[in-house]
Structure 1
Amino acid sequence: RGGLGPPAVLLALATFLYQVAGRVRYYGEFHHETALEERESRRLTFPAVTLCNVNPLRRSRLTPNDLHWAGPALLGLEPAEHAAYLRALGRPPAPPGFMPSPTFDVARLYARAGHALEDMLLDCRYRGWPCGPENFTTIFTRMGQCYTFNSGADGAELLSTPKGGMGNGLEVMLDVQQEEYLPVWRDVEETPFEVGVRVQIHTQEEPPLIDQLGFGAAPCPAAPPPATWPGNTTAARPTSREPGGALEAGVPPGLGTPATQRSPAPGALAAGTRGVQQTLSSSRENVLVLDIFFEALNYETVEQKKAYEMSELLGDIGGQMGLFIGASLLTILEILDYLCEVFWDRVLGRRFWNRKRPQRPSSANLLQEGPGSHRTQVPHLSPGPRPPTPCSAVAKTLSASHRTCYLVTRL
């Protein structure tokens, strides 16, 4: 038993220190956990919607001065390519003796040559109520001049909606003005290879990062918007029983009916057909409709918090301490206090006592003192039996410190 005690204590102490080191290392890795909760609301604030045309500058607004200053950075043009680029834009070349302006402002370039919302916005409605360019805020991003709906800028009241579904949000019809797109001259970051707008839905406190977080919306040729045909006659199906149809009421579809008609001249018919085709083609290429709404009035809250708190670390250390070495915080403090006392008594205390202790007088000096001196009576030692020593005296002899007695009692 005496030989197994020290190894068992050392093994328990080593296991305790290993567990504590693992817990401290895990705490230093800063693990976290995510809580996802879905909540419902009777009314939600409508988010901000930012729109940007993927084409940053309109070709009809560029000038030789713009190409001189912004051509290398925005379009990747060299000075020798300015004349060819102007021809590609359908613009006349720079006049002889052209001198660029001494200064240049890129913000003014985007404000002047960028797509204007007054020209792009064909129709706008919020929850059925009409809206217009005055309900949008102009901002500048990496994509140029953009527009934000319900931004809350300048203290404007934020819009909200009490319902979900289509018709309870923002509906806009936009003309992307594809005829104003810049030609693909060189593969640079600002060269648009797509047609349409880029949209980002975000909160009012979040700045738009539309080039990174936005999504694209392009005109859809498969679903063209309604077009107005020439004339004001309502077209009907051939089998319709209405007066505008090809058959009269009560006539079976397989039988013919005598009728008179007036047909336009072939040239007029071809011209009218070309006008309709151009209108439809232009609508398919340029017009898009965006409908932004809440599917339901609920939202998700995502919360990240610490997976391992300081209190849990201290609790684990205390549990390992009680499991392996059978100690608590008070026991550790008592052991440290005892070691400090031992160090003070055995090392510092002995040096201090040897330096300050007075010299005891010898017995020869006491015998040589005169009759007027004070004499100390020495008790006579008889060879009789020694009286017994009480238990308390033994305890005081074994332990000179009450803290040591307390520590021995605890252990």
Structure 2
Amino acid sequence: LSPRYEIPDTQTADEKQLEILQDKANFRNFKPKPFNMLEFYDRAGHDIREMLLSCFFRGEQCTPEDFKVVSAPQARDGKPRLITMKGGTGNGLEIMLDIQQDEYLPVWGETDETSFEAGIKVQIHSQDEPPLIDQLGFGVAPGFQTFVSCQEQRLIYLPPPWGDCKAVAGDSEFYDTYSITACRIDCETRYLVENCNCRMVHMPGDAPYCTPEQYKECADPALDFLVEKDNEYCICEMPCNMTRYGKELSMVKIPSKASAKYLAKKYNKSEQYIGENILVLDIFFEALNYETIEQKKAYEVAGLLGECWGLGG
């Protein structure tokens, strides 16, 4: 090789060795692969296999394999649904989690997305309705066992002319069942794809995920614009049938003085770490019944005309 690492006479060089040298000198082979935001989320996000310390459903043990990471709405995987046969604590889901504060990114300054809290967010929702955890979820703090008593409520509203609910999903290509959350996510997804040619990880569809550059330059300002102009772009009507869950939360401190040393030894952590990172979440139904709230017609057309006729004559 010459001082510039070039082969002065390629005709005298061995052909196989020349191919090897040319391949090694091709720096295109060292370029990083295209950035994929979903891949980054999976690699850099929390891992349920490391976070889940214990899990029980109806008193029977469950494992990380019973949970599935879902970024955007997907079809069911065919597994049977887990059901409970009675209400009360011990008959629902109880999990102990390590929130891994050591994995949190340090805060160097304040932006509109800076987070100062530690813990998890949870949303209890109908299986026909996609979650919107960042806006509708409730917080669960480390250092506490949180009991969540749920009561199912079924709401029935009237369509026009008696009410103003919407009965069908309309032109959504992502959701079969209409809900305010589905409408909201659908609207935001369409707006982002039309204006930025990409979508966020939690959004449905097959458009490419936004790169960090696209997020900073286009997606984030576009979503902020939607929030400001929400009444003009994302108008989501009330569905005619809706299921929601009333919640009553109560908490007790963990660990107790009696259990702190035991838990620290069991999980090979310090007592301070246990107090700052461990939480227990206990979700159960108050009772296996539901409350129905139904909007009724005050008058049928015939009844209204008859009433008017009686008053007039």
TM-score (norm 1): 0.38
Q: Which has the higher helix share?
A: 1
TM-score (norm 2): 0.49
- Find the structure with the greater CA-based Rg: 1
